[in-house]
Structure 1
């Protein structure tokens, strides 16, 4: 499946940061490459040369920002989104894995938490100019079962897996008492056939999801709240 190949490629840098053989010290001499002169450098020169070698990062096409909406800071009186905070912006494969491996996955988040990953400078709010005319596809999963789908969604985002990638704003995983939801936000809700349906179908395929998923306009959600109905379904 395409996302599995993407996972392998994006894992290269994560694995590359580890010592491939735990029985061999990282500072031991490696096999000389063809044409390399061996034995003519003293220890200080050799050490200095090694320290000067810097692995090049693998840049992403877009920078992305993780946002967290802390459930303990929410209240019914507070303005929606007022407790939401940007956590970190990353721009390379290495930075992504460094963050992902050191943050709680959805199954470990507190009930009421919302964790977002959006393109840099796009806020995960209806009021953001880029999101204002958009909507979202949503997948609903049992409590504690969204970790893999969340990872695959993140890899699809940062790996530019979608045909209409410019339409993508970001994604959010929402942890609730009996279920977890992953929503994929897009820019132009009214563009049904050419963009929204294509994005929904691709996302379902990437997640290997057999359930029906629906698309809600942000405008409907603002007016009707939980009574908003799906405009498109796949």
Structure 2
């Protein structure tokens, strides 16, 4: 699958407006009506174009950015995360990716998320709530390469764990960058071990690289404990 991605990397890279284009004036009313209908249920699913190479799952790119030190909440996080767009084929992926800024060039407290369509990159999402994530902390300068290798492995189904993979995140911070891959079932140790081993291979990590697995339940508890302390101390 990697060879297929590499061969198609520059294919139609200039034609990336499939999901981002504004409707023509004559079609605007029809577009608004369709958008309203889809929003009442869920976003209309994307499909591969004629002659394109379909992925096993559809995926969505998301982006979030916040000001460090500003009090956060689940509600403010959900409002701050923005969906960039969805894709269903190798070609559609490259159209998005070739025009996106690389993680190493992001500034501030920013995150890119790539998740299966229909799964929000939030701990509380039904697909995520019983799961967890493998976390790798990177020194500055490595995020762009590691992110690309990670998402190509994910899209190419290299993890071989069925439907367990939910998505991946790259988090740009001031002193370090963090990448993580999320799965559905934290209690399935055989699956989490296979994800860890595949992650080591596709990222070509040194043997002494520290990898941490954290359940989303633990993440939620740590977040609540921290914000409870902040609020109790008048830090709101």
TM-score w.r.t. the length of structure 1 is: 0.74
1:87 Cα deviation (Å)? 0.7
1:117 aligns with 2:117: no
Distance 2:66 2:3 in 1: 34
Which residue number corresponds to residue 216 of structure 1?
214
1:198 aligns with 2:216: no
Q: Which runs of 5 or more residues in structure 2 are unaligned? A: 14-48, 227-236
* Matched length: 187
- State the structure with more CA Rg: 1
Which residue number corresponds to residue 177 of structure 1?
174
1:147 aligns with 2:144: yes
Encode CA deviations 1:90-120: one digit per residue, 9 max, x unaligned. Answer: 1111111111110111011122001100000
Encode CA deviations 1:166-223: one digit per residue, 9 max, x unaligned. Answer: 100000000000100001001000111x211111111111111120211001111111
How well do the aligned residues superpose, as a CA RMSD in angstroms?
Answer: 2.4
- 8 Å contact from structure 2 (residues 10, 94) kept in 1: no
Which residue number corresponds to residue 127 of structure 2?
130
- 8 Å contact from structure 1 (residues 134, 187) kept in 2: yes
TM-score w.r.t. the length of structure 2 is: 0.73
Which residue number corresponds to residue 37 of structure 1?
none
1:157–1:227 CA distance, 2 compared to 1 (3 A):
farther
What are the equivalent positions in structure 2 for 1:28-47 lying under 5 Å apart?
Answer: none
Distance 1:16 1:127 in 2: 37
Encode CA deviations 1:152-178: one digit per residue, 9 max, x unaligned. Answer: 111011111111041000000000001
- 8 Å contact from structure 1 (residues 110, 175) kept in 2: yes
Distance 2:10 2:77 in 1: 40
Q: Which runs of 5 or more residues in structure 1 are unaligned? A: 1-5, 19-53, 229-234
Secondary structure, aligned partner of 1:87: strand
Distance 1:95 1:87 in 2: 13
Distance 2:202 2:59 in 1: 20
Secondary structure, aligned partner of 2:104: helix
